[in-house]
Amino acid sequence: MSTLEKIVIMIVITVPLAFVGFFVLIITALMGHSSFYVPYIVVIFSMILFFVANKLFNFITKGMTKKLQLLFLALLLVAVGIYEGINFYERSLATLDDQEVDMSLYRPFDNDGRLVTLDNKASLQIEADLPVLDGATALYPLYAAFAQETYPEKSYSIEESEVIVSKTPYAYKNLISGNVDIIFAAGPSDRQVEAAETKGLKFDMTPIGREAFVFFVNASNPVDELTTEQIQSIYAGEITNWSEVGGKNQDIQAFQRPDDSGSQTTLEKFMGNKSLMKAPTDDIVTGMGGIISETANYTNYRNAIGYSFRYFSMDLIQNNEIKHLAIDGVYPDKKTIRTGEYPISKEFYAITTDTDNPNVDRLIEWILSDQGQKLVEETGYVPVGN
């Protein structure tokens, strides 16, 4: 067989193989893990072409070819084993995400005693024109308790009822769109304020309790406390290794939350004049088959740091694999929030805009009463004025 004939055969084999490889790459990318499997498949098809070319042009001896094929197969298996092993390890780690808590277990009148209750009947009873409530995940057990004491007994779906929970960013969108009457959340971000103003709305914010903004690390991390300045420097990307703050010689993996979430807005305000560094991201495959980049959930690596609000991360999650840090020498608990010793205590609010529901003001007034504030305290927050 002439060299020209061999070249033609090589082209005839390469073209369909490349065509198949292209579609395999697309399918692989849409399924996720593209950072590993896309180059992995490119290597496989490249080596297949190499061995086909070797068969035609005899670059190396048959004995050496067999050895290379075995070595190549072994390396492929080892690479997949290592990659999937790392994935298995990462999936086994705690990921402090809202979805870890089944909020349907806290529905009014259907919660097996998970919601706190009053000793006596609430002084406010709303029988009609029920204000539609929404809010942050961490506050749902609180405002569900408000509803359980003042609303008629019936089934309240967490998605479609007068008492829903759609997380802070979507709760603000629902309020601005007029789909709900009151949301319970941390203060709005600048973007949320601007979104309201474009519709001619202004947020009316009534403080109903106080909560601590907390930072946490892997339980095995030797660092037990940080200063405000150290945390700001970590999230600005100025401090990048735990050894700089008394820990091990490990790069710091500082996770963040999605934009406009209550905790992310609080972090942005906490940073003062320092700029937040870019957050770690994950490639997410959407329902339409496209890939988008989203802020990565906190994963409890040994070098990780994350943040949330105290009630959510301590009481709802109850994860003993993470450790909450003292800030400026003060550990976050109800006592230090109440006294103001803990340096990052924030108010949370009942937030409204324009509403013609006659019971909105009545409900907020009751929430600020002794009965409402008792529910705030017994749920796990600090009442306002205390």
Please write the tens of the pLDDT for every residue from 66-77.
Answer: 888 889 889 888
More confident residue, 34 or 76: 76
What is the arithmetic mean of pLDDT over 255-274? 86
Please write the tens of the pLDDT for every residue from 175-218.
Answer: 999 999 999 999 999 999 999 999 999 999 999 999 988 999 98
Tell me phi and psi for residue 185, to 5 degrees: -165, 175
Same fold: 101-208+350-383 with 211-345: yes
Residue type, 384: V
The structural domains of the chain, with segments of one domain joined by +, span 3-92, 101-208+350-383, 211-345
Q: What is residue 173's predicted lDDT score, i.e. its pLDDT?
A: 95
pTM: predicted TM-score of the whole model, two decimal places: 0.73
Please write the tens of the pLDDT for every residue from 93-114.
Answer: 666 654 467 889 999 999 999 9
The yes-or-no verdict on residue 293 having pLDDT over 60 is: no
Q: What is residue 99's predicted lDDT score, i.e. its pLDDT?
A: 45
The answer for residues whose C-beta is within 8 angstroms of residue 50's C-beta and 6 or more apart is none
CATH 3.40.190.10 correct for 211-345: yes
- The CATH number of 101-208+350-383 is 3.40.190.10
Confidence of residue 139 (pLDDT cuts 50, 70, 90): very high
Both tokens assigned to 299 = 């994963």
Cβ count near 86 (within 10 Å): 11
Percent of the chain at pLDDT > 90 equals 47
> Partners of 237 in the beta sheet?
none
Strands in the chain per DSSP E: 133-135, 182-185, 204-218, 225-226, 253-254, 281-285, 291-295, 304-309, 322-324, 326-327, 345-352, 382-383
More confident residue, 209 or 310: 209
Residue type, 14: T
Q: What is residue 288's predicted lDDT score, i.e. its pLDDT?
A: 41
What is the arithmetic mean of pLDDT over 239-248? 95
